[in-house]
Structure 1
Amino acid sequence: MTRAPLRENAKRSVMIAGHRTSVSLEAEFWSALQDIALGRGQSVQALIGAIDSERGERNLSSAIRVFVLRVFRDGSAPSERPFPDRAGIGEGVQEAGGRMGEA
């Protein structure tokens, strides 16, 4: 059996509580994160901020992957368990190279 090649990570710059940081995730996770945020009626930026506030000591990229996995593994619609928006979280997600991605 031949495995499909792994996709490269897509690095994006995000603003969390007034601080800019970059997050590197596979394209499939960015897509899933956008679907979840859309289903919850919030921006990807706000969703990442909520994940960040609850991640504990876990690396942010890992926390996002685990969050996405839990949403889909639980079998619940992405909109069934909304995170509240957090103050100080921006609306844009900046891709590497300065372009703004969809939030």
Structure 2
Amino acid sequence: MALLKRSLSLHGHRTSLALEAEFWEIVDQCTGVENRSLASLIAEIDDSRDPEDPLSSAVRVWALNRVRSGNL
């Protein structure tokens, strides 16, 4: 599976995040439903993750949990 990279500002710093298209689809659905920016959602995930875990992994787990809970 190919990774798709997106750039965003996270806590005042430019960064990029690479995820598979299927995960980006879930992230995009949630930002649309919640009427929020990609940066604000990723910042929330970043703030709640274990510092030892890569951000991309934290976003994947967050997306999986959203699908499992039916909160799309």
State percent identity of aligned pairs.
41
Alignment pair present for 1:51 and 2:54 = no
Aligned to 1:83: none
Q: What is the alpha-carbon distance in structure 2 between the residues aligned to residue 60 and residue 32 of structure 1?
A: 16
| Bigger fraction of residues in helix | 2
Q: Secondary structure at the match of 2:58?
A: helix
Rg larger in 1 or in 2? 1
TM-score (norm. length: structure 2): 0.89
The gaps in structure 2 that reach 5 residues or longer are: none
Structure 1 residue 45, shift from structure 2 partner: 1.6
What RMSD over aligned residues (CA atoms) do the two structures have, in Å? 1.1
Q: What is the alpha-carbon distance in structure 2 between the residues aligned to residue 44 and residue 11 of structure 1?
A: 13
Q: What is the alpha-carbon distance in structure 1 between the residues aligned to residue 67 and residue 3 of structure 2?
A: 20
Aligned to 2:7: 13
Deviation beyond 4 Å, 4+ runs, structure 1: none
Q: Secondary structure at the match of 1:42?
A: coil
